[in-house]
Amino acid sequence: MDMLLSSPSFAFIQVLNSISLGMNLFIIAAGLSLIFGVLRVINFAHGVFYMFGAYIMYTVSKDLQLGFFTGVIAAALGLAIIAIIVERGLFQWLYDKEHLLQLLLTFAIVLIMGDMAKIIWGTDQLSVSYPEGFGGASNLGFTFYPTYRLMLCVVGPLIFLGLWFLIERTRWGRLTRAATQDMEMLSALGINVPVIYVTIFVIGSALAGVGGSLAAPINSPTPGMDATIIVECFVIVIIGGLGSLWGTFVGALIYGFVFNFGSVIVPNWQDVFAFLLLMAVLLIRPWGLFGKPEQEGH
């Protein structure tokens, strides 16, 4: 706390820490929110998709030595393929069923993929190196800050802008938004709704894969890493509003700031503030800061 008040550069570093943490989480949580926004599926398996992204990064960049950025692409593609199999093979049969069945299905996927990860990659904690040129710190003039973290501060907003443009400014995005309102009407108008659904699921899951691959150098790929991230993602999307892209972006930033400054100001209570905020949102505005109450689903 004293350092925060006495050193402006220390305080500034905490701001950057908060943004980079928030942006890494945003990339992952955005996929969860996107899938819920359109498919109305609360995908508990999103965390395990993230874990697969981190493991794929390990295999591609460390085992196969194909480079870090190839690893990011491979994680996105790998999760896209998994998403197609999961959506077409399983989810499509449950859209008109009650939420409990969907939850149980996603939970089953968590258990199956968790065991698959152990069979494929073993149970050791693995480590992934930083990409070439991103392992050090950048000189910001008055202080140094890890280059990789700065990259996350940039990549997060870029993904946000890309998603925003796709959903708000393209014909496909309009159809997607329409699908959340009235799937039957859209189908009657000759739009291939299943294609929209699978595409959304693929994009959302690929984001989890990209998030996992980008987190790999700072979060050791290890069994069970999915359990932590899924809780953080739910906190973010509930604060921001499930299904809202803006909400997820702002929610991730809020989480980053609350967690990071909480760790500095009251170190032993670092988690409490984020959950207190979550409780406050649930009590005062249960649909989240940017969400809409009682949205019509299909």
Which lies closer to another protein via its Cβ, residue 21 or residue 198? 21
Q: Residue 75: name the closest of 111, 50, 92, 105 by CA.
A: 50
Cα 167 to Cα 161: distance, rounded to the nearest angstrom: 10
Distances (CA, A) of 115 to 87, 123, 290: 20, 10, 36
Nearer to another protein, 12 or 246 (CB): 12
- The rounded distance, in Å, linking the Cα atoms of 126 and 220 is 6
Q: Residue 144, SS3?
A: strand
Report the distance separating Cα 75 and Cα 69, nearest Å: 10
Of positions 81, 104, 116, 137, contacts another protein by CB under 8 A:
137
Q: Which listed residue (135, 157, 162, 286) binds another protein by CB under 8 A?
A: 135
21 contacts another protein (rule: CB under 8 A) = yes
Which one of 92, 147, 187, 295 is in contact with another protein (CB under 8 A)? 147
Residues 6+ apart with CB under 8 A from 81: none
Q: Decide: is 33 part of the binding site for another protein (CB under 8 A).
A: no
Q: Quick one: which of 197, 259, 273, 287 contacts another protein (CB under 8 A)?
A: 259
For residues 90 to 129, the per-residue mask of contacts with another protein, x marking binding by CB under 8 A and - elsewhere, is ------------------------xx--x----xxxxxxx
Nearer to another protein (CB atom), residue 160 or residue 259:
259
Written as one string, the DSSP assignment of 57-72 is HIIIIIIS---HHHHH
> Tokens 């949205």 appear where?
295
CB atoms within 10 A of CB 296: 8
In the complex with another protein, the residue whose CB is nearer, 130 or 246, is: 130
By CB under 8 A, tell whether 17 contacts another protein.
Answer: yes
Contact positions with another protein (CB under 8 A) in 175-234? 217-220, 222-225, 227-229
C-beta of 62 vs 88, nearer to another protein: 62
The alpha carbon of 213 is separated from its chain's Cα centroid by a whole number of angstroms, namely 11
130 binds another protein (CB under 8 A): yes
> Is 8 among the residues that bind another protein (CB under 8 A)?
no
How far apart are CB 125 and another protein at their closest, in Å? Answer: 4
What is residue 243's three-state secondary structure?
coil
Q: Residue from 7, 170, 181, 192 that binds another protein (CB under 8 A)?
A: 7
Residue 295 token pair: 């949205």
Query: Of residues 146, 156, 204, 243, which one binds another protein by CB under 8 A?
Result: 146
Which single residue is written with the structure tokens 């032993």?
Answer: 268
89 Cβ partners below 8 Å, 6+ apart? none
Number of residues that bind another protein (CB under 8 A): 47
Cβ pair 226, 114 in contact under 8 A:
yes
CA dist., res. 95 & res. 81, Å (int): 20
Q: Does 144 bind another protein (CB under 8 A)?
A: yes
Nearer to another protein, 39 or 229 (CB): 229
Query: Which residues are at the interface with another protein (CB under 8 A)?
Result: 3, 7, 10, 13-14, 17, 20-21, 114-115, 118, 123-130, 135-137, 144, 146-149, 217-220, 222-225, 227-229, 259-261, 263-264, 267-268, 270-271
